[in-house]
Structure 1
Amino acid sequence: MAKIDTSGWKEFVVGELFPNMVKPSVLHMRQVVEMDEGIRYVVRTKFNNGIKCRVQPVDNVEPSPAGVITWGAENASFFYQEEPFLSGRDIYYVDTRKYSANVCRFLATCLQTIVFKYPYNFGLFPELLKDERIMLPVDNNGEPNWTYMEVYMQKVLDEVEISIENLSQIKNRKERVDVKKWKRFHLYDNDLFNIDMGTKMDKAKMTELNPEVNFVGRANNNNGITTRVDKIMGVEPYEAGNMTLSLGGEYLGSCFIQPDVFYTSQNVVVLVPKWDMSFEVKQFISAMIFKESRLYYKAFVDELNRHIKTDFTFLLPVEADDKPDWKYMEQYMKDMIDVSKKVIENFELLNIC
């Protein structure tokens, strides 16, 4: 959904909008008996609408009503509760039962903007919340525009429902790949790579005054890039598009396509393709190298150093002549990229609310 234009919104004092803030009866942990079909138990957490579990009702602890917005004094997060609930220590609720569920969800999101002003050890108690202010959309009379909130949240829920359905379809489309007819290859086989042992540099001795070269270490995030360093006179960096492979350490087998020129640390080799491999083929191969490395080699015990140019092999799909099936690899990764983009788009929609 498009970003909301809040330029015409107005500030309201929370306590004037919602004077009825309640501290419900407390169900202490020692009284909790979990029960699958029981009543919801709300505690001070930022997850799952504040619900820890479902519990067995207790005779002397009265449930709070559905249709209210809860928050915790510490670790405060505002959640709309659509069912009656029991609650733990320092849980409160704003009585919003006269508003629709959609309006309450909208209000909970607006109230959440207050939380960032209060550190964990400084509780957001009702007396403080009543004096806080929140921004809300307004109608022609300058009053909260409840209709706008209702309609907007329904649009969000509709989009979320579509997103969940799309994610479900993506999950259901996954199929286990049959590798029974695949063949094993060495990195140095024909049509694969020249293996270069890297620049073997010490990051601590590098300078960063005018950084223009990536420095690739034994890391498993950001393509293995740990920093950006100055170019060293007489030492040409490797070209973008080559691949790096960590031979040992905690992230043994981490294999990445490098997006820019780079140097390497010790125990990081460079795989230079023997032909103009596509990005997707490189991605496929890097995944297979990583899988093989993590299955059959062990950091600090049996690392890749002594295997990489001798007996290290990995599986690839092949054509009828037992040569690597480059078209299959390329199309497979293109499909995976398309699926990943859809997953990201759907998660972005889910994060709206």
Structure 2
Amino acid sequence: MVPVSEVFDVIYGTNLELNRLIQTDDGINFVSRSSRNNGVSAKVKKLPDIEPIEGGVLTVAGGGSVLETFLQPEPFYSGRDLFYLKPKIDLTESEKLFYCVCIRHNKYRYSYGRQANRTLKDIMIPSLDEFPEWVYNVNVIDNMLRVLKRIKV
């Protein structure tokens, strides 16, 4: 087991407020601390002065629905108390989804209003050489990715 910070760069998101953005059906995903819809709360108009966060990273709620962790396949903006995890080495989508489950598995440590803003980087997860064989089962991963791509706001 290793801390999250050994596998990922832990980065605080863009910290935007949805009520100050323009919602549009064909916009950029806005990811919040929600436990629903892959964390996507809305689609918003692209901002001229703020680039979206790159797709292919994990998002983790530091507050709200603490440790809700999702793979974001597309670029996105983020709300308050939301971190994104950028792998330090190339990981497959299967490996990223496995890490989503591993991080989310620690939710029980954050009951009674406790947040993960300061401790996320220290949560213990399996090291890169400890992936179970089922992580590489193509049928399981293909089904999970199909569900992710169907998510609509």
Check whether the contact 2:59–2:70 (CA below 8 A) recurs between aligned residues: yes
**Which residue number corresponds to residue 296 of structure 1?**
109
Check whether the contact 2:94–2:141 (CA below 8 A) recurs between aligned residues: no
Aligned-pair distance for 1:220?
Answer: 1.3
**Which residue number corresponds to residue 129 of structure 2?**
325
> Which runs of no fewer than 5 residues in structure 1 stay unpaired?
1-182, 317-322, 342-353
Within the candidate set 309, 312, 335, 2:137 is matched to 335
Check whether the contact 1:215–1:226 (CA below 8 A) recurs between aligned residues: yes
In 2: Cα distance, 1:209 partner to 1:247 partner: 26
**Which residue number corresponds to residue 265 of structure 1?**
79
Aligned residues: 143
Check whether the contact 2:3–2:125 (CA below 8 A) recurs between aligned residues: no
The Cα offsets for residues 201-260 of structure 1, whole Å up to 9 and x where unpaired, read as 0001110257421000111122100110011112110111011000112x2110000021
In 1: Cα distance, 2:139 partner to 2:35 partner: 20
Sort the Cα spacing of 1:188 and 1:315 in 2 relative to 1 into closer, same or farther, 3 A.
Answer: closer
Sort the Cα spacing of 1:222 and 1:210 in 2 relative to 1 into closer, same or farther, 3 A.
Answer: closer
Sort the Cα spacing of 1:276 and 1:231 in 2 relative to 1 into closer, same or farther, 3 A.
Answer: same
Q: Which has the larger radius of gyration?
A: 1
Sort the Cα spacing of 1:306 and 1:340 in 2 relative to 1 into closer, same or farther, 3 A.
Answer: same
In 2: Cα distance, 1:238 partner to 1:187 partner: 19
Q: Aligned ranges for residues 41-60 of structure 1 at < 5 Å?
A: none
**Which residue number corresponds to residue 275 of structure 1?**
89
Check whether the contact 1:201–1:264 (CA below 8 A) recurs between aligned residues: yes
Within the candidate set 121, 125, 131, 1:315 is matched to 125
Within the candidate set 49, 52, 69, 1:234 is matched to 49
In 2: Cα distance, 1:335 partner to 1:271 partner: 24
In 2: Cα distance, 1:254 partner to 1:210 partner: 24
Aligned-pair distance for 1:307?
Answer: 1.3
In 2: Cα distance, 1:257 partner to 1:265 partner: 16
Q: Of Structure 1 and Structure 2, which has the larger fraction of its residues in strand? A: 2
**Which residue number corresponds to residue 306 of structure 1?**
118
In 1: Cα distance, 2:69 partner to 2:96 partner: 10
- Three-state SS of the structure 2 residue aligned to 1:286 is helix
Identity %: 25
- Three-state SS of the structure 2 residue aligned to 1:212 is strand
The Cα offsets for residues 308-338 of structure 1, whole Å up to 9 and x where unpaired, read as 24xx32231xxxxxx5216x34x42233853
The aligned amino acid for 1:263 is Y
Check whether the contact 1:211–1:231 (CA below 8 A) recurs between aligned residues: no
The Cα offsets for residues 146-166 of structure 1, whole Å up to 9 and x where unpaired, read as xxxxxxxxxxxxxxxxxxxxx
The aligned amino acid for 1:297 is Y
- Three-state SS of the structure 2 residue aligned to 1:287 is helix
In 2: Cα distance, 1:221 partner to 1:254 partner: 9
**Which residue number corresponds to residue 219 of structure 1?**
34
TM-score by length of 1: 0.38
In 1: Cα distance, 2:33 partner to 2:117 partner: 13
> Which runs of no fewer than 5 residues in structure 2 stay unpaired?
144-153
Within the candidate set 23, 34, 37, 1:208 is matched to 23
Highest RCO, 1 vs 2 (Cα 8 Å, sep ≥ 6): 2
Check whether the contact 1:248–1:299 (CA below 8 A) recurs between aligned residues: no
